[in-house]
Amino acid sequence: MSTGFSPYQLPDDYADIRAAARGVCDAGVAPHAAEADETATFPEKSYAALRSADLHAPHIPAEYGGAGIDALGTAIVIEEVARACASSSLIPAVNKLGSLPVILDGSEELKQRYLPPVAAGDAMFSYCLSEPEAGSDAASMTTRAVREGDEWVLNGVKRWITNAGVSEYYTVFAVTEPGKGAKGISAFVVEKGDAGVSFGKPEKKLGIKGSPTAEVYFDSVRLPAGRLIGEEGQGFSLAMRTLDHTRVTIAAQALGIAQGALDAATAYAAEREQFGKPIAVFQGVQFLLADAAMKISAARELTYAAAARSERGDADLTYFGAAAKCFASDAAMQITTDMVQVLGGYGYTRDFPVERMMRDAKITQIYEGTNQVQRIVIARELQRGNAF
């Protein structure tokens, strides 16, 4: 019996979000993507375009001056930005990553102080979890915060911090009770202008070159007690809850990169002629394009399903977030490699965007938890009965 409703058809509101984001990105982001990659500089013009359309931090709730776009809509925005420029997609993605701990557990005072500037585009928010000796094993961090009266004194270093030096605000995780492992870690908001905060040289990276990545140093940084996010000792739990939600954004980023590569290769194959015919008519090329399209379709369905669970806070979000991130990023790496193959020698040059997309895709298999870690997470959730 038909009810006249298809559960697999997105409401028109999301189509409108996609159309608006694509229009902004085609006009104001894509033209600057190659330059950001070549010069390894933050794409200020792309940021301005996103900010003008309220797409730089679309997840910020309306009560704090944001667009109030839900998790699925935000994933679609990130997907569309990544289709044009992966580096620029880290603007909305990392704004969400950095500010989500405040949204989830922050006091009203913290929300009122830090969310409106991000919503207005006057500041960005980064996330400081990893350290030189604490990557996948984040609980082994050594950055310390010691309570002194009404202040916390923060010392340590964080590595692989996206948009370091560009962002005004940083969510920083630090040990507040040594010897308790993950239960001795707390979270704080640190401002770029706080005395004792400094930054290392930007890393020289394979891809996402337009998004600066650097170490952040904390030398006796004094933080008011109110900068604590949530409860003392709950920081690691908050970090993991945050990643459950934001792995969806990395899945969306990977999805967008893959879609951009397929779009470019499909257009090229229709125009490039060999043996008197467009190469799009040859089966070898058709199979590469068809496989890419299938994987993108599957990744999109999984990513959107995970985004919906993120919005609802479903019990199986951990599984779906890890599965979406892992599947979409593996697919993006394979697809971008294959799309370089479609373009042949031209695909290996910087005259075409697919080689940049291939380099950009690789990081999606690594950050916010390597795909090996994602598979561990997925297996554990299966064993706990939290999948599906």
**Do 150 and 228 touch, CB atoms closer than 8 A?**
no
- As a whole number of angstroms, the longest Cα–Cα distance in the chain is 79
3-state SS, residue 131: strand
Token pair of 315, please? Answer: 């019990």
3-state SS, residue 180: coil
Query: Which parts of the chain are beta strand (E)?
Result: 125-128, 144-148, 151-162, 169-175, 185-191, 197-199, 213-224, 228-229, 273-274, 277-278
**Do 164 and 92 touch, CB atoms closer than 8 A?**
no
Residue 173 CB neighbours (<10 A): 28
**Do 102 and 71 touch, CB atoms closer than 8 A?**
no
The string of DSSP letters for 285-332 reads HHHHHHHHHHHHHHHHHHHHHHHHHHHHT-TTHHHHHHHHHHHHHHHH
The one catalytic residue among 79, 131, 368, 381 = 368
368 a catalytic residue: yes
What is the rounded CA–CA span in Å between residue 89 and residue 46?
10
Token pair of 6, please? Answer: 């298809």
**Do 84 and 208 touch, CB atoms closer than 8 A?**
no
Strands 277-278 and 125-128: unpaired
Taking each helix axis from N to C end, the angle separating 283-312 and 235-271, rounded to the nearest 10 degrees, works out to 150
What is the rounded CA–CA span in Å between residue 188 and residue 174?
8
Residues known to be catalytic: 368
